[in-house]
Structure 1
Amino acid sequence: MKKKSKRFFKLVILLCLAVLFANFHITYNAEQKLYDTVKSIPKNRVGLVLGAGKYVGNSKHVNLYYKYRLEAAFLLYKNKKIDIILISGDNSTTDYDEPSTFKSDLIKLGVPANKIVLDYAGFRTLDSVVRAKAVFGLESFTIISQRFHNERAIYLAENQNLKVIGFNAKDIKGRYGLRTKLREYLARSKAIIDVIINKQPKFLGPKINI
């Protein structure tokens, strides 16, 4: 029993180290590619907004990750740092449509409908960045999300030979934000595994040049 306990303990230690390494590697890789202000960020023709649900669960409380990504995308467009907004999100059921919700709210803010392109098959961050290249024909763009998410998205995009930068939407503090960041540790480990095994998106489909 003691030998089994020691082996189990060693395995746990190794897994923890692997998760910590994945987190450090992805954070370090994104250095010098992230921007917090409109003034400092270079212009790209297209900004890729990574999807999120508008509401928290089944409540009517607005998801702050959604709200701040929406505001960040509008800020870049208003200041002419992007010309086109590509919204990539989940539309897996008839009553859940992240891209269309973003589009509706961006139009209310003043973005013309013909400047917004929707990707309905951005089920995961991997899908969003791969489809940006494979479906929408992009080689470079600005990723718009919270910093922790941008770091992972940049890692995945660069492994597709894409030239990308990230614009950091306002982050979330408190218990809700902490829970999301803890899940991010595991998501980063999976991102590295996905790159190693060359994981592909759930759907591709016909090309849509923008």
Structure 2
Amino acid sequence: MKRVFVYGIVLPLLLCCMGILFCNYRITCYAKGRVFTDTASIPCNKVGLLLGTSPRLKGGRSNPYFDNRINAAVALYNAGKVKYILISGDNRRHNYNEPQAMKDSLLRRGVPKEVLVLDFAGLRTLDSVVRSKEIFGQDSITVISQQFHNERAIFLAHHYEMEAIGYNAEDVGTQEGFKTQVRELFARVKVYVDFFTNKQPRHLGEKIEIPE
């Protein structure tokens, strides 16, 4: 009975935990030196890839992840470190449009509409990163999101033969962002699963040119 418990329950759980920690460690380590928290030190790129999220939480409150990403995108653009902002997010459901919500918020903050490019098929981070290359023609991007998200996007970009750095939006407190942090651990495991299965974006399509 003891052997069954060890080999049937404890060992698989231990291997699972080790796998999660390994994936998290590899992604974090690769992103070191590629994520930035101030506009003075970050290199310039033509395009900043702003990763989408909902403007509101389930209870109707403002989503701090959304607000902080908008703040980061505005700061990066105003510092002259990106010429265009490619807003990539989910638009699958009726009355739910992450890219448009982000565009509206950026316009209210004074970012010119001609520098905003919308990608309505950024259903996952993988989709957003790969589409920035395959559809929008970018081999080098600055990802704009929270640090944990930037690290994963940078790792994905490397796999798909892109150069990427990240500009970190302000994170959310541990208590408020606990579920997101736990979900991120499993999202990083999914990165390796996607690599193994050669996962591709759900939608590709015709190329869209971002002017020089």
Aligned-partner SS, 1:56 = coil
TM-score by length of 2: 0.96
2:31 match:
30
Distance 1:108 1:183 in 2: 31
AA at the equivalent of 1:172: V
1:89 match:
89
Aligned-partner SS, 1:175 = coil
1:68 match:
68
AA at the equivalent of 1:199: K
User: Which of 42-51 and 190-199 deviates more?
Assistant: 190-199
Aligned-partner SS, 2:145 = strand
2:43 match:
42
Q: CA deviation at 1:174?
A: 3.1
2:148 match:
148
2:114 match:
114
Q: CA deviation at 1:64?
A: 0.3
AA at the equivalent of 1:160: Y
Question: Aligned residue pairs: how many?
Answer: 209
AA at the equivalent of 2:165: I
The C-alpha deviation readout for 1:49-100, integer Å capped at 9, x for no partner, is 010000001x331100000000100111111111100000000012100000
Q: CA deviation at 1:178?
A: 2.0
Q: CA deviation at 1:26?
A: 0.4
The C-alpha deviation readout for 1:7-63, integer Å capped at 9, x for no partner, is 221011001000000000000000010100000101101000010000001x33110
Distance 2:167 2:196 in 1: 26
Q: How does 1:59-208 map to 2 (within 5 A)?
A: 59-208=59-208
1:17 match:
18
Distance 1:90 1:4 in 2: 45
CA RMSD of aligned residues (A): 0.9
Q: CA deviation at 1:4?
A: 2.6
Stretches of structure 1 that go unaligned for 5 or more consecutive residues are: none
TM-score by length of 1: 0.97
Distance 1:156 1:62 in 2: 29
Runs of 4+ in 1 over 4 A off after TM superposition: none
Stretches of structure 2 that go unaligned for 5 or more consecutive residues are: none
2:209 match:
209
Distance 1:37 1:95 in 2: 35
